[in-house]
Amino acid sequence: MTPMENEPAKTPALPLLALLAMASALGVAAAVALAGVAMLLAAPAYAGEGSLLLERRGAMAEAARLSAEVESRKEGEAVMTRVVEVYHNPFAETLEGVYLYRLPPNVVLERLSFTPEAAARPALLTRRQTAALVEPTEALGPGETLIVELIYRTRSVRRVLALRER
């Protein structure tokens, strides 16, 4: 008998190491993707007045807010609030964005519109999770501005309490 016949056959470790490396890389990629989604979903909870996040190179960059105005007036038992914010794309490329706004409880969204430069167009509300408004915008060119107008109605506290007692 030769010494080679007594030794067990060696299994190549290279395919096993390659499989482990690929699984690790896939795990890291999945973790990065899920972290990005979690940050995007958590952003409305931390949005101040409002935020416009621009999708840039697979990441989100905040657009520069040039101004923000909030005006409220009482109409019967409701309070109408109008928010107008102006954002600027500071980048040298056309970018699509996501508008975020933290709505107060017990509101009804009356109007949401995005106006790039001077062309007015209403926005379609596509997602609303709890009291956070998350709305995609169309592309914003380099150096362009976007005017966001948001109008919502808040029911009076007495009316909300009366509805809860029923």
Per residue in 136-163, pLDDT (tens digit) is: 888 888 989 999 998 888 876 555 445 5
**Interval 25-73: pLDDT, tens:** 888 777 766 766 665 555 444 434 688 899 988 888 889 899 999 998 9
Q: What's the whole-model pTM score? A: 0.59
What CA–CA distance (Å, rounded) separates 69 from 149? 10
d(CA 62, CA 57): 13
Query: Which overall architecture, per CATH, does domain 47-165 show?
Result: Sandwich (2.60)
Domain boundaries defined on the chain? 47-165
